[in-house]
Structure 1
Amino acid sequence: MIKNISSNAWIKRLRLFYLALFITVFCCLEVTANTRATITVTKTNYQGWQDSYILSNGQVEAVIVPKVGRIMQFRFKGGEATFWENDPVYGKAPNVKSEEWGYFGAGGDKTWPAPQSAWEKITGKGWPPPATFDSVPFTAKVNRREVTLISPIDPFYGIRVYRKITLEPRKPVMKITTTYEKVKGKPQNVSVWIVTQLHDPVTVYAALPQPSIFPEGYNKRSENLPANLKVNNGLLSLTRDRNKSHKIGSDASTLLWMGKKVAVRIDSPRVPGASYPDNNSSAEIYTNLDPKAYVELEFLSPLKTLRVGQKMDLTTTYTLIPRITENAEQEARKILGR
C-alpha cells in the first residue's frame, strides 16, 4: 500500500533539501576562500635590497630578492633563518663588470646550468658561474599567491630562466619550479641545477634508493670525502669539515638538512633511466670550509639537448620540520622513512 504524501509535506522536504545544499555549498566556498586568503605577498626592503617580497601562508614565509635573483630565505614565521646569507653583500647589487663581485656569493637558493665541466668551453671561463645565472638582477612577476623570477637571456647559453615560487596553504611547504627556455643560439646539452645554501648543520642526510646505482651509495666529487661520512640502511649522513671543502653526488631524491631547532627536507624525484650530469648524480652535497660556514644541498635535472623554442624544468619541494628530539639520526630516519 502506497501512502499519499501531502503537497505541504513535499514542500517542507524540498525546503529542507535546498537548505542543506545551500549550507554545504556555503561551507565549501568559505573553506576555499579561507584557504586562498592564507597566501599573501608583501613588498619589503630585505637586508638593504629594495623591491623584495615576502611570500607567506601564515605559518612559513619565503623571502624573494629579485635584485640578486635568489630566494634568500625560508623560515617559520618569526622563526630563525635556515638559508645561509653572506652578510658582507647585504644591499649590494651584482655587477658582472666588477672584479670585486665577479662571483656574487650572496647565499640563498639559486640555479646554475650543469654540468660545471662545460662552463669553460661555453663561456670561456671555468669559474665564476655564468653571470646571467648568478650575478645579474632578475625581474619579478607577482600575483596574490605566487612570485616568479625571470632572468635576462644568457648570451652564452641562449637561455632565459623562470623560477616560480609557491607555498602550500597552511603547510610548511614551499615549491620552486625552475624552467630553462632556449631562446637563441645553437642546441645546448644542459641540466637544470639547483643550489640551496644552508647554515652550518648538525648533520646532513640523504635518503638513498635501495639498491643505489653507486656501489658505496655515493659518487665522490672532491679529492677527499666529507667529514663523518656514513652509509647505513639506506641513510647517508655527513657533517661539515671546518678546514676543507668536500662534495659528493648520489642518486637520492631527498636530502635533509638538520639544524639545532628545525630541519629542512628537500625533495626532487629522480627520473628512472634518465642520464644525469656529474657521473649520473641527481643530488649532491657540498660542504664549505670556514669562515663561510655553510653547506649546499643540490639537485640536478636529467640532461637534455635544448633547442630554440624548447623548455625544460625541475621542481624542488622544501619542507620545514621542527626538531622534537636530541637524537638527530633517529629523527632523520623518522622524517625520511629510513
Structure 2
Amino acid sequence: MTWLDNGAVRLGFVPALGGRLLSFRYRDTELLWRNRLLLDDDLAPVGEHVLAPNHGRMGDWVNYGGDKTWPAPQGWDGPDQWAGPPDRVLDSGPYTVDLTDGVTMTSGADPRTGLRLTRRFSLSSNGYVLNLTAVNLSRRPVRWALWNVTQFPGGGDVHVALRDHPDPVVDLVAGTGNPRWSRVGSRALVPAQDVVGKLGFPGAAGTLSYERDDLRTTFTFDVDPAATYPDLGSPVEVWLEHPLPEPLAALGGLDPPAHIVECEVLGPLTDLAPGARTSLRITVAVDVTVEELG
C-alpha cells in the first residue's frame, strides 16, 4: 500500500492490484466505493483473502472498487477488443511504483493488447491530477483508447456537461434495462436508480461530476470533437449497478456486489505504431454542494 496526503486530501494505492487508487478521502470523508469484504480501511486484505491476478469471465472478476485504467474498446470478439475485466496484467496484475514525484504506477507488458499502462498521480489542494499513458511495446501496430474507470457508492447523481451534438447520449448496455437520464440546461443528469446498465455520451464537453452527501467530485479533461472515440463516439460513459438475486448470464455471469456508480473518462482511439504512445490528463476536484455551517 502507498499513500499520498496533504492534510485535506489523502489517496491510498494498491499497486499490486492493477495500479488501483482504492481510497480517496477528502477532509476525512471517503469518496470511492471499495469492497470492504476484501480490503479494510488500511487497504490490507480482509481475513484470508489473497491478492492475486485474476482472469476468466466477467462473473469471475474480483471487483475491489476504486479507480483503475483499462484499454478500450471492450469486447470478446477479436484481438482489437480488450476482453476484460478481468485480465491478469492490466486489471489485476502487479504494477511497479515510483514515488519520485507523486505516485507513478506502471503495468507489465500485456501480450494481448501490446500495451503497457502508466498512471501518475499528483495532489492538489482539493483533489488530484491523473496523467495516463499507454505505450505500444509490441512489434505490431495497434489501435486503442485509454479508459479510466472510477467507482463511487450509489445513491448520488451524475452530471455530464454537453456540447452541441446530434446524439449527445446513447444507450450502450442494458443489463436489466437502460439507465434513465434527463437534460437540464447544458447538462445530462443521471439520477440514482436501481438498474444495471450503461450510457455513453458522444456529446460530452469535458466535465463529469458525481454528487453525493453534499460533496461534488468533478472530472475535467480534454475532448477532441474531430477524434474518434469508442462506443459510438463516447468520451464519457456512466455505468450503474445494484445487487441482484442472481448473476446476469447475458453479461458473462456478472454478479454486482453493491450499489455502484462508475464515472468513466475515455481518450480517443489512437493508432499506435510500435513504440508509440497515447496520453490522457484528468483533473479531479472536490467541492461542497451546500453552504458549510460554522
Per the TM superposition, whether the score is higher than 0.5 is yes
Letter in 2 for 1:263: R
Q: 1:274 aligns with which of 198, 202, 227?
A: 227
SS at match of 1:314: strand
CA RMSD in angstroms comes to 2.3
After TM superposition, give the deviation of residue 179 of structure 1 in Å: 0.4
Determine whether 1:71 maps to 2:37: no
Q: 1:113 aligns with which of 71, 92, 102?
A: 71
Letter in 2 for 1:185: R
Counterparts of 2:270 and 2:26, CA distance in 1: 36
Counterparts of 1:102 and 1:136, CA distance in 2: 15
Counterparts of 1:148 and 1:271, CA distance in 2: 26
- Name the residue aligned to 2:277: 311
Determine whether 1:257 maps to 2:207: no
Q: Does the C-alpha gap of structure 1 residues 61 and 233 become closer, same or farther in structure 2, counting only changes over 3 Å?
A: same
Higher normalized contact order (CA 8 Å, seq sep 6+, divided by chain length) = 2
Q: Does the C-alpha gap of structure 1 residues 201 and 269 become closer, same or farther in structure 2, counting only changes over 3 Å?
A: farther
TM score, norm. by length of structure 2: 0.83
- Name the residue aligned to 1:156: 112
- Name the residue aligned to 1:55: 4
Contact 2:160 2:209 in 1 (8 A): yes
Q: How does 1:122-137 map to 2 (within 5 A)?
A: 122=79, 126-137=83-94
Greater helix share, structure number: 1
After TM superposition, give the deviation of residue 66 of structure 1 in Å: 0.7
Counterparts of 2:287 and 2:95, CA distance in 1: 30
Q: 2:155 aligns with which of 183, 201, 221?
A: 201
Letter in 1 for 2:54: V
TM score, norm. by length of structure 1: 0.73
Counterparts of 2:210 and 2:67, CA distance in 1: 14
Greater displacement, 313-322 / 127-136: 127-136
- Name the residue aligned to 1:292: 258
Counterparts of 2:84 and 2:127, CA distance in 1: 33
Q: Residues 167-225 of structure 1: CA distance to partner in whole angstroms, max 9, x if unpaired?
A: 12xx202011110011113211110000011111321111111x2341xx311112333
Q: Please say which structure displays the higher CA radius of gyration.
A: 1
Runs of 4+ displaced beyond 4 Å? 97-102, 123-127
* Gapped regions of structure 2 (runs ≥ 5): 40-44, 244-256
Q: Does the C-alpha gap of structure 1 residues 289 and 122 become closer, same or farther in structure 2, counting only changes over 3 Å?
A: same
Q: 1:174 aligns with which of 128, 138, 154?
A: 128
Letter in 1 for 2:31: T
How many residues get paired? 265
Q: Does the C-alpha gap of structure 1 residues 124 and 303 become closer, same or farther in structure 2, counting only changes over 3 Å?
A: closer
* Gapped regions of structure 1 (runs ≥ 5): 1-51, 327-338
Q: Residues 137-158 of structure 1: CA distance to partner in whole angstroms, max 9, x if unpaired?
A: 2110112x40100110001112
Q: 1:146 aligns with which of 78, 85, 102?
A: 102
Q: Residues 46-89 of structure 1: CA distance to partner in whole angstroms, max 9, x if unpaired?
A: xxxxxx11112222121111121201121214x22111101222
Counterparts of 1:317 and 1:124, CA distance in 2: 27
After TM superposition, give the deviation of residue 322 of structure 1 in Å: 1.8
- Name the residue aligned to 1:212: 165
Contact 1:123 1:130 in 2 (8 A): no
Determine whether 1:165 maps to 2:118: no
Q: Does the C-alpha gap of structure 1 residues 277 and 125 become closer, same or farther in structure 2, counting only changes over 3 Å?
A: closer
